[in-house]
């Protein structure tokens, strides 16, 4: 019987097939219920006991060999079919196209990480707000021009519901809900109805920060912002504060950093001043603290605000705001 098994193995080794039908014929001949292998199993009962182990293993091996051989014939036919269809399997695979994070997201995350390292908590809030959180609680007088339709998108009037013009509104919620010490940084979209301005873009991105505690001083503000500027633009970066005015801070200042392009020598980016304005800041006006129920005799605080588009422009030399929202992959792909 072992000779018959060996002979069948040689026969199967030599079989070929030019079509799926021929493979099926071979399967029926060797592996079906009436096939050659089944016949061997039928004869197996006549094999002498002392040979049963060897013969049984030989039949199982022959069956596995026949199955593998038929599988090789099938896949060979598939490859012929594919190559006939022009598929070349030797080509390298399609590389996975990886996306890239938007430059505004990269800069936002970098700025938030710096303040998180200082113990600030990230807070967010609604883009549709009431005029209390956007204006009144922030010490804007009733007749302030920012409240006009020229600067603000109103959804309804009386009561005024509007699109927030800064993320300070979220920090008013934070002051209403949190007990000092308060250390929050708040990223988000803000909306300005500035059809008349050269910017002519109605939405941009901001990050604002707020620190309220006992004995917070302007020196704390300067030190915090110096650390932030050097972390973001490099350790050689210098800062300077210029007096300014905002309804919600007193004193107020605008902060410049030494130009990271020319190191302060003067170039066309910094308009040959050596300085670049990056944010506004100041000590929180006591009226603002009191409006949100914080005792201004016990607590003081500082705050700052910056536009992310501007910071990203300084970091990456992006000189056209439209690039941020046109989603041109030739632009976005550069931020791998």
Ligand X SMILES: Cc1ccc(OCc2nc(C(=O)N[C@H]3CCS(=O)(=O)C3)cs2)cc1
Residues numbered 110-169 forming contacts with ligand X, rule: CB under 6 A = 166, 168
Tokens linked to 30: 């060797």
Q: Of 210, 229, 270, 312, which one interacts with ligand X (CB under 6 A)? A: 210
Rounded to the nearest 5°, which phi and psi values hold at 330? Answer: -65, -25
Cβ distance to ligand X smaller for residue 206 or 260:
206
Stretch that binds ligand X, among 43-51, 88-96, 100-108, 298-306 (CB under 6 A): 298-306
Which residue lies nearest ligand X, judged by its C-beta?
Answer: 280
Distance between CA 305 and CA 138 in Å, rounded?
Answer: 14
Q: How far is the CB of 126 from ligand X (least distance, A)?
A: 15
Residues 214-273 that bind ligand X (CB under 6 A): 246, 248-249
Give the Cβ contact number of residue 133 at 10 Å.
21
Contact call for residue 208 and ligand X (CB under 6 A): yes
How near is the Cβ of 165 to ligand X at its closest, in Å?
Answer: 9
State yes or no: residue 303 binds ligand X (CB under 6 A): yes
- DSSP secondary-structure letter at 96? P
* Contacting residue, 70, 123, 282, 324, with ligand X by CB under 6 A: 282
- Measured CA distances, 248 to 19, 105, 134, 295 (Å): 83, 27, 11, 16
Q: Is 304 in the site for ligand X (CB under 6 A)?
A: yes
By CB under 6 A, name the one of 180, 187, 264, 305 that touches ligand X.
305
Return the range that interacts with ligand X (CB under 6 A); candidates 11-19, 47-55, 276-284, 315-323: 276-284
Using the rule CB under 6 A, which residue among 288, 294, 311, 312 binds ligand X? 288
255 neighbors 241 (Cβ within 8 angstroms): yes
Q: Binding of ligand X at residue 180 (CB under 6 A)?
A: no
Contacts of 79 (CB under 8 A, 6+ apart): 89
- Per residue, the 3-state secondary structure of 192-261, as one string, reads CCCCCCCCCCCEEEEEEEEEEECCCCHHHHHHHHHHHHHHHHCCCCCEEEEEEEECCEEEEEEEEEECCC
CB of 209 to ligand X, least distance (A): 7
Site residue total, ligand X (CB under 6 A): 22
Closest approach, Cβ 265 to ligand X, in A, equals: 26
User: For residues 2 and 203, which CB has a smaller minimum distance to ligand X in the complex?
Assistant: 203
Query: Which segment (20-28, 112-120, 263-271, 303-311) binds ligand X by CB under 6 A?
Result: 303-311
Widest CA span in the chain: 112
Comparing CB distances to ligand X, the nearer of 37 and 288 is 288
Q: What angle do CA 217, 223, 226 make, to 5 degrees?
A: 140
Closest separation in Å from C-beta 164 to ligand X: 12
Q: Is the CB of 171 or the CB of 237 nearer to ligand X? A: 171
For residue 80, is it left (φ>0), alpha (ψ between -120 and 50) or beta?
alpha
**What is the chain's length?**
336
Which window, 67-75, 77-85, 282-290, 317-325, contacts ligand X (CB under 6 A)?
282-290
From residue 52, alpha-carbon distances to 48, 109, 185, 315 in Å are 6, 74, 82, 81
Query: Cβ of residue 334: shortest distance to ligand X, in angstroms?
Result: 24
Measured from the CB of residue 175, what is the shortest distance to ligand X in angstroms?
6
Q: How many CB atoms lie within 10 A of CB 278?
A: 21
Residues 182/175, Cβ–Cβ less than 8 Å: yes
Q: Which spans of this chain sit near ligand X (rule: CB under 6 A)? A: 166, 168, 171-172, 175, 206, 208, 210, 246, 248-249, 279-282, 284, 288, 303-307
């Amino acid at each position: 019987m072992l000779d018959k098994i060996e002979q069948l193995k040689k026969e199967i080794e030599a079989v070929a097939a030019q079509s799926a039908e021929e493979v099926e014929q071979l399967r029926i001949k060797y592996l079906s219920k009436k096939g050659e292998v089944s016949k061997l199993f039928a004869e197996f009962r006549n094999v002498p006991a002392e040979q049963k182990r060897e013969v049984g293993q030989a039949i199982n091996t022959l069956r596995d060999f026949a199955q593998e051989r038929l599988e090789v014939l099938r896949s060979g036919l598939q490859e012929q079919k594919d190559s006939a269809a022009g598929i070349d399997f030797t080509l390298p695979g399609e590389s996975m196209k990886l996306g890239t994070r938007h430059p505004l997201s990269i800069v936002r995350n970098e700025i938030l990480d710096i303040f998180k390292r200082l113990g600030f908590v990230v807070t967010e809030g609604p883009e549709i707000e009431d005029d209390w959180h956007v204006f009144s609680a922030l010490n804007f007088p009733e007749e302030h021009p920012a409240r006009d339709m020229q600067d603000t998108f109103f959804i309804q009037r009386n009561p005024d519901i509007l699109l927030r013009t800064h993320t300070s509104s979220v920090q008013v919620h934070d002051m209403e809900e949190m007990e000092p010490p308060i250390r929050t940084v708040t990223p988000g979209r803000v909306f300005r109805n500035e059809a008349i301005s050269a910017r002519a873009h109605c939405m941009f991105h901001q990050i604002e920060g707020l620190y309220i505690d006992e004995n917070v001083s302007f020196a704390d503000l300067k030190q915090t912002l110096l650390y932030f500027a050097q972390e973001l633009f490099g350790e050689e970066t210098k800062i300077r504060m210029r007096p300014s005015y905002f309804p919600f801070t007193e004193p107020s200042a605008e902060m410049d950093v030494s130009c990271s392009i020319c190191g302060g020598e003067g170039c066309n980016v910094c308009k040959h001043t050596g300085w670049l304005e990056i944010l506004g800041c100041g000590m929180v006006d006591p009226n603002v603290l009191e409006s949100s129920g914080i005792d201004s005799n016990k607590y003081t605080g500082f705050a700052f605000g910056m536009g992310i588009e501007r910071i990203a422009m300084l970091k990456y030399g992006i000189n056209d705001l439209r690039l941020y929202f046109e989603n041109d992959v030739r632009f976005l792909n550069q931020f791998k």
